[in-house]
Amino acid sequence: MLCINGYASATVTKYYSKYFEFSHNTIVYTFKNAFFEFNQANAKWDNNIFYGLNAGAISKTEMPWWDQLWSPEKSSVIDLDTLDLAKDSVFNPADKASPNFRMLSEAKRVVEVKNNAWFWPTAVTDFWTSWNDTAHADSVYTPSWMNPRTAGFFSNKTAFPGFNQSGNVNADPGFGSGVASVLNGGGTNGIGLLPWFREIRGGTALTDLWGYKLTQVGSAINWVPTWPLPEAADMVYTNTALKTGGTDGKPIGDYTWSGLTGIQEVATGLPTKFELFAAYPNPFNPSTKIDFALPSAAIVSLKVFNLLGQQVATLVAGTMTAGRHSVTFNANNLSSGVYMYTLTAGNFVSSRKMLLLK
């Protein structure tokens, strides 16, 4: 999720959410808080990269109730609160008659936050400092990884035994230079995130835009994006510790931007041509293995489509070394039927069919 003004996820409603999981995602630059997920009773935030989130911070006039629910706090990446009475009643009806019903409900919550990496680039933190040091009428409260209220849940094992966090690190992933160019804009990045901050805080934002490689499709009927997408270079990160830092031993964040894809290298001689092999097993349920060969390094995509031409999965997206590679496709969430898988590597394009039988 790259350059967003709104939430990355916001499932807080009057209704009860039985389970929430946010794992192996990469979020780069948000103007406001990325999550509105205060009341989760059973949730996981694992193996994510959070980079430059809530860069718009919170002003004095927005405190203390800016995107907060029951108790005032400053914003943070992971920002939690107690359950409200309505959710308690559905989440823990067994204890509803008890005088300490609310605390009994809190003790049953299970929230896991593990092996995430968060980071604010110096250009952002220096900007915040300068803004607050320049006697602006409305200075800002800057975000943190966990605000005191949220950190308190994880540290109080008596009241909140199901809250667990570990392995979270403040670490720069090392994205490409195009990511940094988003901050001050220019070219196709609009005015930039930091000038946008000035306009929002100054009440002058009208029609300006900020973002990453903004594209104006206009009235084009058969518009095709520039390929390979610029993200293929800028979003691949270089921090080697993060590439095996997940709770599952896999890259933290979206695999695509780790520079790795979780693909197994098959120890054979270098192929002499590009080739896409038949899936095995085929028919399959629910997973099958797809092999392909690259005689030289290439920017590769491997995607799965249904017979309506709708994309249902991206298995590979990024630069791959020469060799024979294997990737597993799990179709557990798809219905039975014929699917096409298409390999694109440089100018080479090949498609094959596979049959899912459940």
Contact between 42 and 16 under an 8 Å Cβ cutoff? The reply is: no
Q: Which residues have C-beta within 8 Å of that of residue 114, sequence separation ≥ 6?
A: 44, 45, 46, 47, 164, 165, 166, 167, 168, 247
Whether residue 191 is predicted with pLDDT greater than 70 in this model: the reply is: yes
Of 240, 260, 280, which residue constitutes the final position of a domain? 260
Whether residue 318 sits in one domain with residue 190: no
Q: Please tell me the distance from the alpha carbon of residue 341 to that of residue 353, in angstroms, as a whole number.
A: 6
Whether residue 217 sits in one domain with residue 290: no
Instruction: Give residue-wise pLDDT tens across range 124-179.
Output: 999 999 999 876 667 899 999 999 999 999 999 999 999 999 999 999 999 999 99
Q: Please give the pLDDT value at position 135.
A: 65
Whether residue 58 sits in one domain with residue 125: yes
Q: Please give the pLDDT value at position 266.
A: 47
Instruction: Give residue-wise pLDDT tens across range 270-312.
Output: 888 999 999 988 888 888 899 999 999 899 999 999 999 999 9
Whether residue 117 sits in one domain with residue 46: yes
Using pLDDT thresholds of 50, 70 and 90, give the confidence band for residue 267. very low
Whether residue 256 is predicted with pLDDT greater than 80 in this model: the reply is: no
Q: Please give the pLDDT value at position 203.
A: 87
Paired with 355 in beta bridges are 338
Q: Which domain holds residue 343?
A: 261-356
Of 260, 284, 303, which residue constitutes the final position of a domain? 260
Whether residue 319 sits in one domain with residue 211: no
Q: Please give the pLDDT value at position 61.
A: 85
Q: Please give the pLDDT value at position 13.
A: 66
Q: Please give the pLDDT value at position 260.
A: 60
Paired with 290 in beta bridges are 327
Instruction: Give residue-wise pLDDT tens across range 222-252.
Output: 887 777 788 888 998 999 999 889 998 888 9
Whether residue 281 sits in one domain with residue 150: no
Segment 207-212 mean pLDDT: 92
Segment 35-44 mean pLDDT: 90
Q: Which two tokens stand for residue 318?
A: 């990024």
Q: Mean pLDDT, the chain, as a whole number?
A: 89
pTM: 0.72
State the total domains in the chain: 2
Whether residue 321 sits in one domain with residue 193: no
Whether residue 238 sits in one domain with residue 277: no
Segment 58-63 mean pLDDT: 88
